[in-house]
Each structure stands twice: as C-alpha cells, then as structure tokens.
C-alpha cells in the first residue's frame, strides 16, 4: 500500500500550519487611526518622515536614511547616487531580483550579470572580479533570502578597483556580518531595504536607503525627493537648484506609521525568525536528499524565506516538481513561485528602452534544485516537528515517486 499522500496515503499535516507571529497588532491599528485624526496624509519633510528615517538609520547604524515609496525606488535612487550612467557598468548576480537590474537600466547604465555561488545563492565575488572592466563603477549585491554576501571579499574588491557598493538588503533586515548590521559596514556605500509586501519589516509598500556619506545622502534626495531640495541638502553640489529631479518617490505616511511600530519590536521577531528557521534547516538538512544553504562564518543570517537544496544524486530520475508536490500533499506550505532568475526577464531588456544594456556574462543559469519554504517567525516545536516529518517521509518513501 502506498504511504505518500501524493499517492493516496494519509498526510502528516491535516489542518495547515499558522504562524503564531502577527505583524499587525491592534495597537498598530490604533496608531493608524490616531495618525489619521491628527496628522497630514502627505509629508514632504519633517514629521513622520523624519521620525521614520531617523529611527531606521539608528536601527541599522548609519548616519543617514532616505525613505521612498518602495524598495525599487530606493534602488533606482541608489544607482543614480553611486554614478550609474551611460558610460558605466555595474556588476550583479544573475540570481537576484529583476528590479535591481532595472535600477541600473533606468539610469542608462550597463548591467553585467555574473555567476552566483550555488551553495549560498549569493553573488560569486571571484567571478565578478573576472568580468569587471575599466568602465565598471560598482556592484549591486543582494543578500539573497537574508543570507549575507561574503563582505570581506566585497571589501577587497571595492578597495582594489575603487568600486561603489550598493547592498540590496531587501531580504536582510537585521542580518549581520562580523557582528555589524548589513547596511552599516564600511564597504557599503548605500544599502537599500524593501519594506514591501511580506518582507521581514513590512508596511505594504515602502523602501529606504541608508548611507554614512553626506554627498550620497544629497544625491539620494536629489533623485527622489522633489521639494526637499535644496532645503534638506547637506553639501553644496545641488544647493543652487530650486528643486530635485521629478521622480517623486515620497512614501505614504501610513506605511511609515506601520513600519515604525514593527521596527520597535523587531528584535523579538528577529530572534524568533532565526531560532525557528535554524531549527528547521538544521533538522531538514540532515535528512537524506536535502541540504542546507551555506552561511559564511562571519555571517549571522535572517530568513526572509527558508530555502533547502536537493541533493541531486539522491533524487536521480525524480524531477523536482514531483518532490514539491509530494511535500505539499503531506501538508508543507511551499513558495516555489518566487522567481529570482533575472534572465527570465530577458524579453524586457530587448525593449527599445533598454536594448544592449544588459550583458549576460554568467555561465550558470537558474538553480533547479531549490525548495522554498516561508520564512516562518514563530512556530511551536510541535508544528516544526510536523514539517520536518514531512521531509523525512518523502525522503524515506522516495521509491513511490518514480
């Protein structure tokens, strides 16, 4: 008799698993109502905008922060600030979010796609060094799924070739390298965070860029915050301008109200997120057929999502879709729909607006052996053990999948 639920057996998880952590509390709803009663619903400068930017800069450990309507806008502004233009190229991994590439193209800069490390899923810095040339102005490095890039190698490359480094920390709120928050390291010129849909700090739609450099801060304002220029500028470069560029990337006050409350309790959420996903990944990674994503020694990662790799040899002859289905039928919630292969967007780069700007120098291709679980925050031990049992069962009865 077949055992796996995909073949009619009894599933392990029957009622689904609900994360015990709630991002929006009743007290947040009170704060929103209170704000609506008393405060303006659009803020150019000061007020809630100042409060949010200052709090976020403090949270990460930088001097400055500039808020935007989303993370995509933050990346566009950061690319501009770091000198992306029609005589530059920037390096980035083919395995990242397509908006990172577009932030360069929207500044008429070339984007060189390089390899990723299949063990960490982060940029392969050695390959990046091989493909850079004398027009390479910088890199955008995505800390994929909350797993920090090798920042020692990034620093070496930055110093050797005088590169600008933009961290895309959209998945990595509170991830650390050598004890310091990602976003606050000396080798990062600007770090961008999405606080959009379901991110670890999520306000629905919101983004922010942080920096320690006053000139970069001014560039960030100039490209995305008309009406804060020239008053809010620190340096002289744009002081004679009566306004910034017309990209109005101003965030909505209500998203900032939500984000502020979430930042205040993020330490607790971060601890739950790390302990829950460490437990799951350490156990699942020991089951035949499954492997963990590797983490650099100096990194302390967070888990926007929990990714597990398949050991291809173990599953020879069985395709990943079948394994995914089998796990889902046992009751595991998977999120295979996340598409982090920027090459999947090739069609867009052939559009007249962007033609010739993306150079694919990667020799890899989409990773084909990745299972994506939600980045759970707070589960009971019993819930975690049920998830682990599903993986054990599918591994044990793999013969049923041929």
Ligand X SMILES: Cc1ncc(COP(=O)(O)O)c(C=O)c1O
Binding residues vs ligand X (CB under 6 A): 70-72, 75, 96-97, 99-100, 142, 168, 170-171, 194, 196, 207
CB nearer ligand X, residue 52 or residue 97: 97
Q: Which helix (H) or strand (E) holds 34?
A: helix 26-38
Phi, psi for residue 244 in degrees, rounded to 5: -85, -175
The minimum distance between CB 17 and ligand X, in angstroms, equals 23
Q: Which residue is nearest to ligand X (CB)?
A: 71
CB nearer ligand X, residue 112 or residue 193: 193
The CA R_g of the chain, rounded to the nearest whole Å, is 22
The minimum distance between CB 128 and ligand X, in angstroms, equals 17
CB nearer ligand X, residue 189 or residue 330: 189
The minimum distance between CB 304 and ligand X, in angstroms, equals 8
CB nearer ligand X, residue 122 or residue 261: 122
Cα 41 from Cα 48, distance rounded (Å): 10
The minimum distance between CB 330 and ligand X, in angstroms, equals 28
Query: What pairing do the DSSP bridges indicate for beta strands 176-177 and 180-181?
Result: antiparallel
First to last CA, the chain: 15
Cβ atoms within 10 Å, residue 119: 13
Angstrom distances, CA of residue 400 to CA of 8, 176, 262, 314, 317? 11, 42, 45, 14, 12
Determine contact, residues 146/375, Cβ cutoff 8 Å: yes
Is the Cα torsion angle 31, 37, 38, 39 positive or negative in sign?
positive
The minimum distance between CB 99 and ligand X, in angstroms, equals 5
Residue 188: strand pairing partners: none
CB nearer ligand X, residue 107 or residue 395: 107
CB nearer ligand X, residue 191 or residue 384: 191
Cα 267 from Cα 123, distance rounded (Å): 27
The minimum distance between CB 388 and ligand X, in angstroms, equals 27
């Amino acid at each position: 008799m077949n055992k796996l639920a995909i073949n009619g057996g009894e599933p392990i998880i029957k009622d689904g698993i609900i994360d015990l952590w709630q991002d929006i509390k009743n007290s947040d709803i009170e704060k929103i109502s209170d704000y609506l009663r008393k405060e303006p619903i659009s803020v150019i400068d000061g007020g809630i905008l100042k409060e949010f930017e200052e709090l976020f800069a403090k949270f990460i450990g930088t001097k400055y922060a500039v808020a935007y309507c989303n993370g995509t806008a933050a990346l566009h502004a950061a690319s501009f600030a770091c000198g992306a233009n029609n005589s530059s190229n920037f390096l980035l991994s083919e395995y990242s979010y397509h908006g990172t590439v577009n932030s360069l193209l929207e500044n008429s800069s070339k984007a060189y796609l390089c390899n990723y490390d299949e063990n960490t899923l982060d940029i392969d810095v050695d390959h990046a060094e091989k493909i850079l040339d004398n027009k390479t102005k910088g890199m955008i490095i995505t800390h994929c799924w909350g797993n920090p890039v090798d920042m020692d190698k990034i620093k070496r490359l930055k110093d050797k070739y005088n590169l600008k480094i933009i961290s895309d920390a959209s998945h990595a709120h509170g991830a650390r390298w050598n004890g310091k928050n990602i976003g606050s390291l000396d080798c990062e010129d600007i770090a961008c965070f999405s606080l959009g849909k379901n991110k670890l700090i999520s306000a629905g739609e919101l983004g922010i860029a942080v920096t320690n450099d006053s000139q970069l801060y001014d560039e960030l304002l100039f490209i995305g915050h008309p009406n804060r220029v020239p008053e809010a500028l620190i340096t002289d470069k744009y002081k004679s301008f009566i306004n910034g560029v017309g990209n109005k990337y101003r965030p909505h006050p209500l998203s900032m109200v939500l984000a502020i409350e979430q930042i205040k309790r993020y330490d607790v959420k971060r601890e739950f997120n790390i302990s829950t996903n460490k437990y799951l990944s350490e156990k699942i990674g020991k089951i035949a057929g499954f492997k963990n994503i590797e983490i650099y020694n100096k990194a302390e990662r967070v888990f926007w999502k929990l990714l597990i790799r398949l050991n291809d040899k173990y599953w020879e002859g069985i395709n990943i879709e079948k394994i995914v289905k089998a796990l889902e039928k046992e009751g595991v919630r998977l999120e295979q729909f996340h598409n982090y292969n920027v090459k999947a967007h090739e069609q867009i780069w052939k559009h007249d607006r962007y033609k010739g700007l993306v150079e694919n120098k990667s020799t890899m291709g989409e990773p084909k052996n990745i299972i994506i679980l939600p980045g759970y925050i707070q589960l009971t031990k019993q819930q975690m053990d049920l998830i682990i049992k599903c993986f054990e069962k599918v591994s044990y009865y793999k013969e049923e999948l041929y």
